[in-house]
Structure 1
Amino acid sequence: MAETAIELSPTAQSEIAEALNQCVAETAVLTMLAQNFHWNVEGPHFGPLHELFQTLYEDHFVGQDDLAERIKAIDMHAEGTLAGMVARSKIKEVEGAPDDTEMLRVLMEAEMTLAKTLAGAANIAETHGDLLTQDLAIERGRAHEKFAWMLRAHLKRMS
C-alpha cells in the first residue's frame, strides 16, 4: 500500500532517512568535486570541461536540496554539516591538482557511485511503500547515470 510521508511508520521513516542522508552526503561531496574541478581545469579542453563541470555542480546542488527536503518531509533530521557528509560519503575528495583526464575519470566514477546509492534508496523506499521518495531517488539516479555517460564520452574523445 502506498504511503505518504506522514503515514510512514517510525521504522520506515528512520530507514528511508538514513538512505537519503547517504545520498545527500555523496551529492554534497560530488558537488564540491565538480566545483573544485570547474575552478581548476586547464589545458586544451578548458572551455567545454569548465562548462560541463559547472552544469554538474549546479544540478547537484539542486538535487542535494531536494533530497534533504524529502528527509524533512518524512519528519526526520537532514545531516547538514560538511564534516558529517565527508565522513559518511563513499565519494572522496581529491587532493592536489589532477589533470583534465583524471578529473573526468574521478567525476565519472563518483556519478556512478551516487547513481548506485540512489538506486538503493529507491529500493528501501519501495519496501516501505514510499513511492514519492522512490520516484525522487529514481529521478536523481537517472540524472547521475546521464552525467556519467557524458563524462565517459569526453574521456573517449580525449583518448
Structure 2
Amino acid sequence: MTQTAVALEPSAREAIAEALNQSVAETVVTTMLAQNFHWNVKGMAFGPLHALFQEIYEDHFEGQDLIAERVRAIDMHANGTLAGMLKRSKVSEHEGEATDKEMIAMLLEAQETVAATLGGAGEIAAELGDTLTEDLCIERGRAHEKFAWMLRAHLS
C-alpha cells in the first residue's frame, strides 16, 4: 500500500534515507568526476567528449538535488558534506592525468555503480511502501544507465 512520506514509520524513513544518501553521495562524486574530465579532456575526440562530460555533470547536478530533496521530503537529514560523501561513495575521485579512453572507462564504471545503488534504493522504497521514492530512483537510475550506454559506445 502506498503511503505518504509523513505516514511512513520512522524505521522505514531511516532505511529509505540511508539508501538515498548513498545515492546522493555517489551522484555527487560522479558529478565532480565528469566535471574534472570535462576540464581536462584532450585529443582528437575533445569536442564531443567535452560536450558529453558537460551533459553528464549538468544532469547529475540536478539529479543529486532531486534525491537530496526527497530525503528532506520524508523528513530525514540529507547528508551534505563533501568529506562524508567521499567517505561513503563507492565511486572514487580521480587525480592527475588520464587518457580520453581512461576517462570514459572510469565514468562508465561510475554510471553503472550509481545506477545499481539507485536500483537498490528503489527496491527498499518499494518494499516499505514509498512509491514516490521508488519512482524517483527508477527515473534517476534510467538516466545513469543511458549515460553508461553512451560511454560504452565510445569504447566499442
Q: TM-score, normalised by structure 1?
A: 0.97
State the distance in 2 between where 1:3 and 1:98 align.
Answer: 47
State the distance in 2 between where 1:104 and 1:14 align.
Answer: 35
Alpha-carbon deviation of 1:4? 1.1
1:12 is matched with 12
1:108 is matched with 108
Counterparts of 1:89-104 in structure 2, within 5 Å, are 89-104=89-104
State the distance in 2 between where 1:97 and 1:80 align.
Answer: 28
State the distance in 1 between where 2:12 and 2:92 align.
Answer: 29
% identity of equivalent residues: 67
State the distance in 2 between where 1:42 and 1:104 align.
Answer: 12
2:46 is matched with 46
State the distance in 2 between where 1:62 and 1:28 align.
Answer: 10
2:65 is matched with 65
Return 5+ residue gaps in structure 2 as ranges. Answer: none
Q: Aligned AA for 1:3?
A: Q
Q: Work out the number of aligned pairs and report it.
A: 156
2:144 is matched with 144
State the distance in 2 between where 1:155 and 1:3 align.
Answer: 43
Q: Aligned AA for 1:118?
A: L
Alpha-carbon deviation of 1:77? 0.3
Q: Aligned AA for 2:107?
A: L
Alpha-carbon deviation of 1:95? 1.6
Alpha-carbon deviation of 1:110? 0.5
State the distance in 1 between where 2:121 and 2:88 align.
Answer: 15
State the distance in 1 between where 2:4 and 2:152 align.
Answer: 38
Q: Aligned AA for 1:154?
A: H
Q: TM-score, normalised by structure 2?
A: 0.99
C-alpha distance after superposition, 1:4-62 (max 9, x if no partner): 11111000000000000000000000000000000000000000000000000000000
State the distance in 2 between where 1:116 and 1:80 align.
Answer: 21
State the distance in 1 between where 2:138 and 2:4 align.
Answer: 17
Q: Aligned AA for 1:127?
A: E
Q: Aligned AA for 1:147?
A: F
Secondary structure in structure 2 of the residue aligned to 1:129: coil
C-alpha distance after superposition, 1:111-142 (max 9, x if no partner): 00000000000000001000000000000001
Return 5+ residue gaps in structure 1 as ranges. Answer: none
RMSD: 0.4
State the distance in 1 between where 2:85 and 2:129 align.
Answer: 27
C-alpha distance after superposition, 1:82-119 (max 9, x if no partner): 00000000000112111100000000010000000000
State the distance in 2 between where 1:97 and 1:149 align.
Answer: 24
